[in-house]
Amino acid sequence: MRDTEFLKQQIESAQIEREILHRWRPKMQWKYNQETGHLYDPDGAMVAIGYAGGDGGKRPDGVNSHALQNVPNVGPLPCGIYTFGEPVEHSQLGPFAIPLIPDPGNEMFGRSGLYCHGDTFAMNHSASDGCMIMPHQIRTDMWESEVHTLLVYVDGE
- Structure pTM? 0.81
Apex CA 51: angle with CA 148 and CA 144, to 5°? 25
What structural domains and CATH numbers belong to the chain? Answer: 26-153 (2.40.440.10)
Closest to 34 in 3D by CA, of 133, 146, 144, 147: 133
Q: How far is CA 102 from the centre of its chain?
A: 12
Position 3 scores a pLDDT of: 64
Distance, in Å, from the CA atom of 125 to the CA atom of 46, rounded to the nearest integer, reads: 20
- In the DSSP assignment, the letter for residue 103 is -
**Residue-wise pLDDT tens digits, 51-67:** 999 999 999 999 999 99
Identify whether the C-beta of residue 54 lies closer than 8 Å to the C-beta of residue 75.
no
pLDDT digits (tens, 9 = 90+) for 63-101: 999 999 999 999 999 999 999 999 998 888 889 999 999
* Greater model confidence, 44 or 14: 44
- In Å, the largest CA–CA distance within the chain is 76
The secondary structure of residue 154, as a DSSP letter, is -
Whole-number Å distance between alpha carbons of 93 and 75: 17
